[in-house]
Amino acid sequence: MTTPRTAYKVDCEHPGSEVAAETAAAMAAASVAFRPYDSKYSDLLLLHARQLFSFADTYRGRYDDSVHSVRKYYPSSSGYSDELLWAAAWLFEATDDKLYLNYVAQNAVLLGGTGWAVTEFSWDNKYAGLQVLLTKADYILGKNPKSMSYLVGYGWNYPTHVHHRGASVPSIFELPSAVGCIDGFDDWYVNKDGNPNVIEGALVGGPDVKDEFYDDRCKYEQTEPSMVGNAPLVGLFAALDGLEGDKGSEHKSAGPNPKPKVDSCFAEAAVEFVHTITNTWKYQGEDYYRHQVAVKNTCGERITYLKLKIENLAGLLWGLSQTQEKNMYELPPWLKVLEPGAGFVFVYIQGGPQAAVSVVAYH
């Protein structure tokens, strides 16, 4: 990186209530997560969360009034009131101290926590988070009118012109000479080719209010993976993963893999499939359906390997791991064992009739 990375600060004379309160909220939330595993570190986080909240509330002021250079990119359009309420709410969650609950109750109207016509929840505006939190994991992963995964590398239809320098500039193995910041911008920013490097797991900015998405590196609002979008996604996916199935055990040397059972009649009897349509919507005159397939182990034995063939699949699928073979899928990585009578679900989206699912092998 050849461009300067200037550090800024907020203090009593140059306040930044948004930054301080947001950090207080993050530390309070982290203290809750660490409490069962490292109480000492959790206490330290909570101490600093209290200090930062006190600082943010005592020395009130917009951070972009103190650090003028951020106005162009991250202006504090909603002010700092929402962050103060957000921090107090998290501190109450972490401490059960009625002081913070009373702060929210007494300042909700004054600080705008009620009465706003809230249309967003973002790095800047936290009011929606104080009123309702809705996860949109399905939408991100492809349950949307364009059937596009906005998580790069996930699914078959994801952004390929990501606004990211490391993804856009060829690797040192293809381009051994050093590429400076200016050179990288001039040569690769407006390049129409797709990214030479897939930035796996990056969440891009996403579609506009009309669900339109332009896979264009120059449209950074839609194709840039930002920290404010990706950081909370880790927690969301971790929480969802925590609700699912057996996480397996510590790694052990498995030795030779047992030969899968491939008798088709017995294989079909070993697993039961139940297809249902859980949602439907119309896009550009066409009907789309969210298909859910419940898979149940009916063979009376533990299944540690399951290979499925899915034909007539035209849309996105999640809940299974795709193999190198065409139309072939295996158990997802979070599901190591399917106990007798146990089951799981996978989901796919497409128009028209349902896909055909069959068992190829299992053991």
* pLDDT, position 94: 94
CB atoms within 10 A of CB 149: 22
First to last CA, the chain: 51
* Model confidence pTM above 0.85: no
d(CA 118, CA 112): 11
* pLDDT, position 103: 87
Report the number of secondary-structure helices (H) and strands (E) in the chain.
12, 8
Q: DSSP class of residue 69?
A: G
- Say how far residue 302 (Cα) sits from the centre of its chain: 32
d(CA 42, CA 33): 8
Judge whether 91 and 100 are in contact, CB under 8 Å.
yes
- Single-letter amino acid, residue 303: I
Judge whether 246 and 335 are in contact, CB under 8 Å.
yes
Domain ranges of the chain: 17-131, 135-243, 264-362
Angle formed at CA 39 by CA 37 and CA 40, multiple of 5 degrees: 125
Architecture of domain 264-362: Sandwich (2.60)
Catalytically active residues, by annotation = 163, 215, 224
Across the chain, which has 363 residues, the per-10-residue mean pLDDT values are 81 94 95 92 96 95 89 80 89 92 78 48 48 56 84 88 89 78 81 88 90 92 89 74 46 38 47 84 77 88 91 87 90 87 88 86 86
Q: Which residues pair with 27 in a beta bridge?
A: none
Tokens linked to 6: 């200037």
